[in-house]
């Protein structure tokens, strides 16, 4: 098995020539199913990211790397006390502020993982150069990732819900599983979708915002991967 982040980045343009929007939706669904199972067992993953999702030979997504995971028995979150390097740009506000990890912080990280998937391996917040305190302040003031090139509007709406400041306002994994189950059904019926993502790259079609996409799947209309929103 190879990790999804590696495959999505691909190193070479050829690696994405056969990936379809349906594949991105299917992987998102499979990851959500895995996370729903963990949540049902009161397990916090703590390090969900594309680099920790693996694809089998039949391209089924499997969640791995449980080095930061914890099982909750009597509490809804745990407070990290050990000094361990943390994946700053995948962390929820409460993780950065109070070192508190919960199923809801996994949901935030799931939203970041969706960004990686629907941008074909872009590094989150790659245009942002801030220290931890500055990054936390910017998140609290509404800084969020912008819509990835290949991301449908409704999927981006779900991502934004995963990044609510108040963790109680974030969707749960059961709702996310149901969303992608329905979304996959819709994508199967959409005969207008290109047969692969590379079609829209090679033909220089335009993205949802009217921005041209180059051969690497990048949007030529914006140099920033962040937006300001109200949360």
pLDDT at 207: 39
For β-strands 100-102 and 77-79, DSSP reports them as: antiparallel
Q: 173-195 pLDDT, tens per residue?
A: 999 999 999 999 887 766 545 55
Q: 36-64 pLDDT, tens per residue?
A: 999 998 889 989 999 999 998 888 999 98
The answer to whether 166 is a known catalytic residue is no
Between CA 13 and CA 215 the distance in angstroms is: 8
Catalytic residue among 23, 47, 106, 225: 47
Mean predicted confidence (pLDDT) in 150-156: 95
List, in order of start, the domains of the chain with CATH numbers: 2-228 (1.10.510.10)
Looking at beta carbons, which pairs linking 36-42 to residues 24 or more positions away fall under 8 Å? Answer: 36/173, 36/174, 36/176, 36/177, 38/63, 38/69, 38/106, 39/103, 39/106, 39/172, 39/173, 41/71, 42/71, 42/72, 42/73
Q: How confident is the model at residue 8 (pLDDT cuts 50, 70, 90)?
A: low
């Amino acid at each position: 098995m190879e990790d999804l982040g590696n495959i999505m980045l691909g190193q070479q343009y050829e690696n994405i020539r056969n990936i379809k929007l349906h594949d991105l939706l299917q992987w998102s669904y499979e990851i959500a199913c895995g996370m729903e199972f963990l949540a049902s067992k009161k397990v916090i993953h703590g390090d969900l990211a594309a680099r920790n999702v693996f694809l089998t030979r039949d391209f089924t997504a499997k969640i791995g790397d449980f080095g930061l995971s914890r099982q909750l028995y009597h509490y809804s979150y745990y407070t990290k006390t050990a000094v361990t390097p943390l994946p700053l740009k995948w962390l929820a506000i409460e993780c950065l502020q109070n070192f508190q990890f919960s199923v809801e912080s996994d949901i935030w990280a799931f939203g970041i993982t969706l960004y990686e998937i629907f941008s074909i391996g872009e590094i989150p917040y790659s245009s942002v150069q801030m220290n931890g305190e500055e990054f936390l302040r910017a998140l609290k003031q509404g800084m969020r990732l912008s819509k990835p090139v290949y991301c449908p509007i409704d999927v981006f709406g779900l991502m934004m819900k995963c990044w609510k400041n108040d963790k109680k306002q974030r969707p749960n994994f059961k709702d996310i599983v149901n969303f992608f189950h329905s979304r996959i059904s819709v994508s199967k019926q959409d005969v207008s979708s290109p047969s692969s993502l590379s079609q829209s790259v090679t033909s220089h079609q335009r993205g949802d915002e009217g921005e041209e996409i180059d051969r690497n799947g990048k949007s030529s209309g914006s140099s920033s991967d962040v937006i300001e929103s109200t949360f």
